[in-house]
Chain A
Amino acid sequence: MSEAAVDTQGAPVHRADPGLFVRADESGGQAKLDLVVQSMHCAGCMRRIERALGELDGVSFARANLSTKRVAVKWDPARLQPAAIVEKLASIGFEAVPFDSKLIGMLDESEGRKLLRAMGVAGFAAANVMLLSVSVWSGLVSDMEPETRALFYWISALIALPAIAYAAQPFYRSAYAALRKRQMNMDVPISLAVTLATGMSIVQTVVNAEHVYFDASITLLFFLLIGRYLDVQARNRACSAAQNLLGLRAMAATVVDADGAQRSMPIEALEPGMRVAVAAGARMPADGVVAIGISDVDTSLVTGESLPEPVRPGAHVFAGTLNLTAPMQVTVTARDEHSLLSEIVRLMEAAEQGRSAYVRIADRAARIYAPSVHVMALATVLFWLAMGSSFVTALTNAIAVLIVTCPCALGLAVPVVQVVATGRLLKRGILLKAADGLERLAEVDTIVFDKTGTLTLGRPSLVDSPVATPDLAIAAALARSSRHPLARALVESVGAKPLPVLDDLREEPGHGLEGRLGDEVIRLGNREWVEVGEGASIQHGGSELWLRRGTGKPVCFRFMDKLRPDAVEAIRELKIRGFAIELLSGDREPAARAAADALGIAVWRAGARPDAKIARLKELAAQGRKVLMVGDGLNDAPALRVAHVSMSPADASDVSQTAADFIFQGAKLGAVIEAIEVARKSRRLVFENFALALAYNAVAIPLAFAGFVTPLIAAVAMSTSSITVTLNSLRLSRTAREVNE
């Protein structure tokens, strides 16, 4: 989890002022704040957090939620400042980040609650109706009188009717929505079967006939609601984890007023002409023009370019880019119609419109299943009428066909697999955001990678080069005082070795560092700073730092954006599995070529702008390929939307994370293989479940057709098939455990 707390470049994130996220409590005078605490893992953590917050003066409510890793706090705003809450948690070792309440609205938690309530009602009714039904079934072979049976049926009706009216609503609503769009989904046959079974049972009860199906329809609802609730719950969990990641980025802008006073403000409230202060290591809150300050800007998250770009007053900077070396003040400009960002926004919108609705496997099954079931019911009526039976008998048998074929197992086949798969992915740090993401991922045959930040770690590391150890130690000692990514990489490379102590350290933004060791003046920085002649030019596709001790010969340190630790194996593995791999980078050619060569990717393109990435993806789609796009930058966001299915690392830009179907945490690229593997296994299990359901129907339909299906047989058959399907789906988690061991 710890990588989520650090920004892409390893720079400390400048946290938003928690005061901006405070909401007023509905019930009188209290302030309310949600905090994300990613490092909360156990009972001890919860206890410490709750106790520490309870000690604060004015706090009336503090509750930690371990499932969502959030803490809800309510307090009296007159007695306590919100910043004190975050500080208190920091003092006991928990990093807490205010959670944007607007993000909470993104997730519909009430849906899960509604389903759970419907499930409770259905469960209650199912248990009681079953109780009565079992009495009737056992009574049939002993001495139950028709009057007693009628009483039981009436009571069943009394329990079942309101329960069905309430609990079936999710299915009716979804079926109605599908029919209005002239589409077919699984809920249409479900709704029809429930309605017909209930309707016929009412009639049978009134005429005091032998068989009623209240138990069948209410148990059916109960089973289906369990599946549906678990499905929603699993997705909510993944979504809330994704939201926490985004919440960790929540930034506020520091506005500098005309009189020099600084105040914190939400980014959305910024207006053109305002002056914002951007600290070294912070991201630009908005597009703008540099007013004061000379610095370097890291644009890798926006353009894929891996080298920092020097900026001085008058230069344009884009929202989301990282200020590296020195504090700056930036004048916010209106979003330029021709800026990269507005181009990305335009492309995103176009991609959104152009995206065709994906038809899920269950709905595709319903398209075949529903008409065939209805034809079969019609055939039953005609057959019995032709045989000279009464209309009532014919109709009864037809309805029996509809009830036994009712897709209890089919309705569970997909959701249960989905739940198990989502849970398994979540354990590996892979978050599934789109409901149909797994199904689309299982179809993938081509994978397109972005380079910077996706195949690579998105930060430079020192390349092994013949640099003398004392030089390296001195350079690192100098670099320690800077937050420039190259300087940080240099420090990282020497590890915990003792370093010489330098005096008179100073940093010249955009140029380099200077210090003194004894009588020797030492400079570390770019070519001009160290006064390297032009002759020593080397093309290696990375960046470089030069060191000069006194008047000695300058020494060069080379840096490359290193590949993710398992990138080579991951790509090889994917190739072995028969995926076509491509690289689409926004970076310059040498950098892209180096990465492609190291990974053995034959098809690659450098300097690809967002529209070029989209064009390539459309080209692939036109060839009939199903493309998985893996990318992290803002420039990848439109491509992530256009691709058949998409994945982002957890440190990707927030726009990309919102656009992607999957998010993976951690440095390893193996998550991509893992996700595809789980998706394919899930698809296989879904098809197996369909096969099981069909096998069951192959036995049940002829029986119903012949008029042999009593409510008892229907209940047994339906429960058996549901349980079989559920057990089969659970195999997915069992194979996962075996792999773990």
Chain B
Amino acid sequence: MNILVYLMPAALFLGCLGLIGFLWSLKSSQYDDLDGAAERILFDDEDLPRE
């Protein structure tokens, strides 16, 4: 059972990473235009956010 000492913090850490990633993507307006995002993969050139 000692393995839990490592595994549980690891699981929680990874989970937190996912949550932070989600909150970041939300904050940087990545969910504002889902239809547009679906189409943008068709652009041939790089489509980097400006600014």
Contacts and interface: CB of A to CB of B under 8 A. Distances in A.
A43 B50 contact: no
Nearest to A124: B19
Given A60-B51, A61-B50, A116 B31 contact: yes
Contacts of B22: 120, 124
Secondary structure at the B interface, as helix, strand, loop or mixed, is helix
Contact of B35 (A67, A148, A151, A159): A67
Interface in B21-35: 22-23, 26, 31-35
Nearest to B37: A66
Given A68-B33, A113-B26, A116-B26, A159 B1 contact: no
A424 interface: no
A113 B18 CA distance: 18
A47 B36 CA distance: 11
B39 A127 contact: no
B51 A61 contact: yes
B31 A46 contact: no
A47 B50 contact: no
Given A113-B26, A120-B23, A64 B8 contact: no
A121 interface: yes
A169 interface: no
Interface string B35-48: 11001101100000
B23 A46 contact: no
A230 to B, nearest CB: 12
A155 B8 contact: yes
A66 B33 contact: yes
B33 A43 contact: no
Nearest to A120: B22
Contacts of B15: 124, 127-128
B49 to A, nearest CB: 8
Contact of B11 (A61, A120, A131): A131
Given A43-B42, A64-B36, A66-B33, A117 B50 contact: no
Interface residues of A, number: 28
Contacts of B19: 120-121, 124
> Which residue among B26, B39, B42, B43 has the maximum number of chain A CB atoms within 10 Å of its CB?
B39
A241 to B, nearest CB: 12
A305 to B, nearest CB: 42
A128 B35 CA distance: 31
A494 B35 CA distance: 42
A62 B50 contact: yes
Given A120-B19, A121-B19, A124-B18, A65 B36 contact: yes
A387 B11 CA distance: 45
A47 B26 contact: no
B39 A42 contact: yes
Contacts of B4: 148, 151
A67 B8 contact: no
A618 interface: no
A63 interface: yes
Interface string A538-580: 0000000000000000000000000000000000000000000
Contacts of B34: 67
Contacts of B51: 60-61, 74
B44 to A, nearest CB: 9
Interface string A508-552: 000000000000000000000000000000000000000000000
Contact of A67 (B1, B33, B49): B33
A60 B50 contact: yes
A62 B50 CA distance: 8
A46 B11 CA distance: 41
B36 A46 contact: yes
Interface string B2-13: 001000100110
Contacts of A128: 11-12, 15
Nearest to B33: A65
A193 B42 CA distance: 47
A46 B39 CA distance: 9
A116 B40 CA distance: 23
A278 B11 CA distance: 69
B51 to A, nearest CB: 5
A718 to B, nearest CB: 22
14 contacts: A64-B36, A67-B32, A67-B34, A68-B33, A117-B26, A120-B22, A124-B15, A124-B16, A127-B15, A128-B11, A128-B12, A128-B15, A155-B8, A155-B12
Interface of B: 1, 4, 8, 11-12, 15-16, 18-19, 22-23, 26, 31-36, 39-40, 42-43, 49-51
Given A43-B39, A46-B39, A159-B12, 5 more contacts: A43-B42, A43-B43, A47-B43, A61-B51, A64-B36
